[in-house]
Amino acid sequence: MIYKNVMEALDWASSFLVDNGREETAARIVMQHILGSTYAGVMLHLQDTLSVEQSKQFVALIEEHANGRPVQYCVGSEEFYGRTFLVDESVLIPRPETEELVLGTVNRINKLFHDKSLKLADIGTGSGAIAISMKLECPEVVVVATDLSEEALATAKKNAQMLAADVDFRLGDLTMPLAEEKFDIVLSNPPYIAFDEAQEMSTIVLEHEPHSALFAEEDGLILYRKLAEQLPALMNKPSLIGLEIGYTQGDQVAKFFKDSFPQATVTVEKDINGKPRMIFCEIHV
């Protein structure tokens, strides 16, 4: 199929995606990719002519998404905190909820730390979205990022290079690559889905996103427990720990950190949808 202009192609794609049980917004994402444009740019050029090659590429990507591949993997990127990050099947697709972890951390930095040089670790960095965003939002902070996956780190390094972010990437499990060092801020969005929740999840997610970045033992809590056990040896005073959590896990994860940091202020924060989605542990002097 060859479509003459942007509007004609979008109309077809929207109907085709809905008929195949997909979100029609994916049509706009693919068109932005094809045209190398923003949403506003696409809307301003609906009557523009598509080349035969552009039309063929658009149809191919829409059909690929309709067949079940996440649209972000189809186009090879996702927006996060106002920036474009490369993504592929080696990394979890960054979610909007995780932007709130970055925002919450940035807002707390000035309150907790006064004119101090800071060192931050992002544990389980995946695409590098958290680490790179923090470095670009707070350039004076030294940022270290770890991951267990060599493939994920390769993607994260590409993103850091593309976005000109100076991040120290290290391969290893949880805090292992950080041993013998001290940090002022530790952030993590670890795998937190219980294995028995898989049946409730989208097949698009299950069939394409890395399971090692999604699922965790002990009903999804094992990595929070391990972090709570391992982080006391790494934290300066004052310091800050910020974690993304599953919306049913707030009380359990908060208890892990209250037990490990008895003098700290541990709070469960809600996301923009009103669901408990973040834990912040403020460790005082």
- In sequence order, which residues have a C-beta less than 8 Å from that of residue 76 and are 6 or more positions away? 33, 86, 87, 88
Q: Mapping DSSP to helix (H, G, I), strand (E, B) and coil, where does residue 144 land?
A: strand
Question: What is the structure's pLDDT at 135?
Answer: 98
Question: What is the structure's pLDDT at 60?
Answer: 97
pLDDT: which is higher, 208 or 150: 150
Question: What is the structure's pLDDT at 155?
Answer: 97
- In sequence order, which residues have a C-beta less than 8 Å from that of residue 22 and are 6 or more positions away? 65, 66
What pTM was computed for the model? 0.90
- Residue-wise pLDDT tens digits, 166-207: 999 999 999 999 998 999 999 999 865 654 555 564 666 555
What whole-number distance in Å separates Cα of residue 223 and Cα of residue 245?
Answer: 11
What whole-number distance in Å separates Cα of residue 92 and Cα of residue 88?
Answer: 8
Output the CA torsion 93→269→103→36 (10° steps).
Answer: 30
- Residue-wise pLDDT tens digits, 253-282: 999 999 999 999 999 999 999 999 999 999
- Residue-wise pLDDT tens digits, 59-90: 999 999 999 999 999 999 999 999 999 999 99
| The pLDDT of residue 212 is above 60 | no
